[in-house]
Structure formats: structure tokens, C-alpha cells
């Protein structure tokens, strides 16, 4: 009999599943697991949102200065529709991390506002990515509303709108941060993360043109790290480190290791919700199966499937027909992937927490733990 730690494997897995039954409710009750939600206080969210009108005004002023009044009016609509509508996890994460890194006496209104502006720059970068991504995937909904390119009179103008958002971000950085010692570091970080993320998007698109039989976990992890983890987790944290005056390269390296691990789990969860989440709760209709995405579910399914089941994947994955999409979802259930995901979630949380406790260079453990618990909403 197979054993883990001297106990029968079946018993160990059964105990793990009992601990993670909340995750399985995603499949059973069509609700988003607690881990998918990032909860911030109403005060934090309100204070962050209060800066957004200033951001729009700054950008509008810059745009008008180029004798582009009509473009400025249009761009204000672009910003209002796309930038502040999401959960704003990345932007608020930037602010919360900064608050945790600096002494209380340095938390002046001016410094907090700088952190909020940095947070909004991250949200603008996120908008640039998702507008472009939605065009490439021909997605229909995002954040509970039509994707920008699906809005009447927008269409492929969305591509230029995305470019305007990306470059307006640098106008904000110049206006509010050019007098600081960390300005060049902030600029270089945004440029680096943008390039890394677009490389990840390229990997994602290239893999979506391959047969599901060619998907590998190695390719999946490369896509996730580059397309999601860097800009969703490392970027907000590293921005806060720079603004707080951190210079130690080892502190950045250790932070990156932990945050990329968080990003990997976050994307696995996103893949799971794309298939099993309720669109009314997640705000988008999952299309990974139809789009032939190299998702965690598809990779694990192919690892577990027998010859007959692999043929079902080859025949049905990446196809638009609803019956074929449903057959893939049924196969995922037959292969026990919801249970596998529940165990993966529990083990990932514990692994990341252990790595946090092992860090030694400057950044307080509680700073990482707060992010982990806000992201996953788990009891420590």
C-alpha cells in the first residue's frame, strides 16, 4: 500500500480534502473560493479612489498641451471605463506595502499620495495589458462589462487607446517622481516589467497555436512567471521598496523569489476559475478551453489521462462547439482535477509561508504575510 509519512496515501489525501472543502465549493456551488478575493478596508479603497480624478486631470492636461483637445476628451473616457473598474489589487498592494516598509513618522500625506500615484501607474499598466489581451483573445466581457474593443464605436481603436494608457503612465511618473532619487529606478522597473510581461504574452499566444498534446508544465510555468507573476506581484512590491529607499540587491532578490511563487499560484487559481467559476461573480466568461490556452488544468489533465482520454482532449480542446467544451470540463472532473487543485492550493500556501519565514534581508516577514493573507484570505 502506498503511504505518506507512514499513513495510507488515500487517508492522507482524504484529510487534505476535508481541510480544503471550501475550494471544492467553487465546483459544487458555483461561487468563487475565498482565496480568489482580495479584501481591503473601505477606507483604503476610498482613499485610493480619491486620487484617481487627480490622475485623469494630470493626464488630460498633458494631452491637451499637444494641441489634442479632442483626443484628451476621448482619453478621459478611455481612462474612466478601463482603469478604475477592477478590484485594484495591484495598486492598493503598492500602497499597503509602502506603508508597511517605512517608519510611522514618514507616512506623511505627501508620501502616501506618492505611493497612491505609483499604485495607479500599476493599474494603468494592468489596463494596457488587459485591453491588448482582450483584443488578441477576442474576449467579450471583462470586469462584468463589455471588453473595451466590444464597446460601440471603439473596435480596434482600442489598440491605440491601450498604447496611450501605457505612455500616459510615464507622464505621471515624470510629473510626480522626477525630483526623487528613485525616479530612474522606477522608470527602469516599469520598462523591464512591461517587456517581461509582453514576452510572457508572446509565449501564451505561441502555445495557444500548438496541440494540447504538446503542452508541458515547463512551458506553463514560463508563461505564468513572465505574463502574470512579475507585474501582478513583484512590480507593486518592488515599487514600494524603491519609494521606501531600499537599496539592498539581496532584499530585492529574496522578495522576487517569494512574490513569483505567489504569482504562480494566483495564475493556477485563475485557470481554475476560468473553467469552474461563476461569470456573474468572476466578472468574465472563461474561454481558456475554446482559446486552446496552455492552462494548468489542461497540462495536468494530459499528465493524468490515459490514451483514450488524451484523444478526447486532442479532439475537443481548442474547439468552439459547446458540446466539446463541456466534454473537456467533464473530463477534468473525471480526472479529479478539482480535488487536485484543492490539495495544490493548501500545499502552495504552506510552501510560500515557509519561504517567507526563511527570508533574512531587511524586509519584515509580516509585510509578506499580510500580502499572502490578503491575497488568499487564509488563517495563518
Cell of 70: 479632442
d(CA 369, CA 303): 33
Tell me how far CA of residue 219 lies from CA of 6, 202, 245, 294, 298, in angstroms. 34, 12, 36, 8, 12
Judge whether 58 counts as a catalytic residue.
no
Q: Which of 48, 99, 129, 133 is catalytic?
A: 133
Judge whether 128 counts as a catalytic residue.
yes
Q: Which of 88, 90, 99, 142 is catalytic?
A: 142
Judge whether 368 counts as a catalytic residue.
no
Judge whether 142 counts as a catalytic residue.
yes
Judge whether 274 counts as a catalytic residue.
no
Q: Which of 134, 161, 204, 274 is catalytic?
A: 204
Q: Which of 161, 271, 274, 288 is catalytic?
A: 271
Q: Which of 16, 85, 87, 304 is catalytic?
A: 87
d(CA 203, CA 199): 6
Are residues 344 and 217 in contact, defined by beta-carbon separation less than 8 angstroms?
A: no
d(CA 70, CA 76): 10
**DSSP at 277:** S
Q: Which of 52, 128, 252, 265 is catalytic?
A: 128
Judge whether 106 counts as a catalytic residue.
no
Q: Which of 88, 90, 227, 293 is catalytic?
A: 227
Strands 145-146, 3-4: pairing kind: unpaired
Judge whether 134 counts as a catalytic residue.
no
Q: Which of 52, 75, 252, 270 is catalytic?
A: 270
Q: Which of 47, 54, 58, 137 is catalytic?
A: 137
Cell of 94: 503598492
d(CA 259, CA 256): 5
Judge whether 181 counts as a catalytic residue.
no
Judge whether 227 counts as a catalytic residue.
yes
d(CA 115, CA 121): 10
| Residues tagged active-site | 87, 128, 133, 137, 142, 204, 227, 266, 270-271
Amino acid at each position: 500500500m502506498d503511504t505518506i509519512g507512514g499513513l495510507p496515501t488515500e487517508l492522507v489525501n482524504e484529510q487534505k480534502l476535508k481541510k480544503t472543502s471550501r475550494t471544492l465549493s467553487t465546483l459544487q456551488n458555483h461561487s468563487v473560493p475565498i482565496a480568489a478575493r482580495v479584501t481591503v478596508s473601505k477606507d483604503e479603497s476610498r482613499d485610493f479612489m480619491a486620487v484617481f480624478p487627480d490622475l485623469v486631470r494630470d493626464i488630460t492636461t498633458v494631452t491637451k498641451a499637444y494641441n489634442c483637445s479632442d483626443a484628451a476628451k476621448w482619453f478621459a473616457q478611455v481612462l474612466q471605463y478601463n482603469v478604475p473598474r477592477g478590484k485594484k489589487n495591484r495598486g492598493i498592494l503598492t500602497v499597503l506595502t509602502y506603508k508597511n516598509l517605512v517608519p510611522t513618522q514618514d507616512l506623511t500625506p505627501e508620501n502616501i499620495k506618492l505611493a497612491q500615484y505609483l499604485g495607479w501607474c500599476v493599474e494603468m499598466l494592468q489596463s494596457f495589458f488587459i485591453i491588448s489581451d482582450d483584443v488578441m483573445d477576442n474576449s467579450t466581457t471583462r470586469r462584468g462589462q463589455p471588453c473595451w474593443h466590444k464597446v460601440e464605436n471603439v473596435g480596434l481603436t482600442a489598440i491605440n487607446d491601450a498604447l496611450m494608457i501605457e505612455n500616459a503612465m510615464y507622464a505621471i511618473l515624470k510629473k510626480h517622481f522626477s525630483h526623487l532619487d528613485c525616479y530612474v529606478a522606477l522608470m527602469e522597473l516599469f520598462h523591464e516589467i512591461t517587456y517581461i510581461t509582453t514576452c510572457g504574452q508572446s509565449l501564451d499566444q505561441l502555445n495557444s497555436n500548438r496541440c494540447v498534446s504538446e503542452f508541458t508544465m515547463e512551458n506553463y510555468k514560463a508563461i505564468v512567471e513572465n505574463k502574470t507573476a512579475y507585474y501582478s506581484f513583484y512590480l507593486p512590491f518592488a515599487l514600494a521598496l524603491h519609494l521606501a529607499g531600499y537599496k539592498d540587491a539581496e532584499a530585492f532578490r529574496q522578495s522576487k523569489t517569494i512574490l513569483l511563487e505567489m504569482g504562480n499560484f494566483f495564475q493556477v487559481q485563475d485557470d481554475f476559475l476560468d473553467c469552474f467559476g461563476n461569470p456573474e461573480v468572476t466578472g468574465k466568461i472563461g474561454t481558456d478551453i475554446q482559446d486552446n490556452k496552455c492552462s494548468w488544468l489542461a497540462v495536468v489533465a494530459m499528465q493524468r489521462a490515459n490514451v483514450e482520454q488524451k484523444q478526447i482532449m486532442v479532439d475537443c480542446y481548442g474547439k468552439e462547439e459547446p458540446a466539446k467544451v463541456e466534454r473537456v470540463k467533464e473530463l477534468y472532473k473525471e480526472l479529479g482535477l478539482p480535488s487536485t487543485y484543492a490539495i495544490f492550493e493548501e500545499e502552495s500556501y504552506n510552501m510560500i509561508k515557509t519561504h517567507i519565514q526563511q527570508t533574512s534581508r531587511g524586509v519584515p516577514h509580516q509585510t509578506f504575510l499580510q500580502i499572502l493573507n490578503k491575497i488568499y484570505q487564509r488563517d495563518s
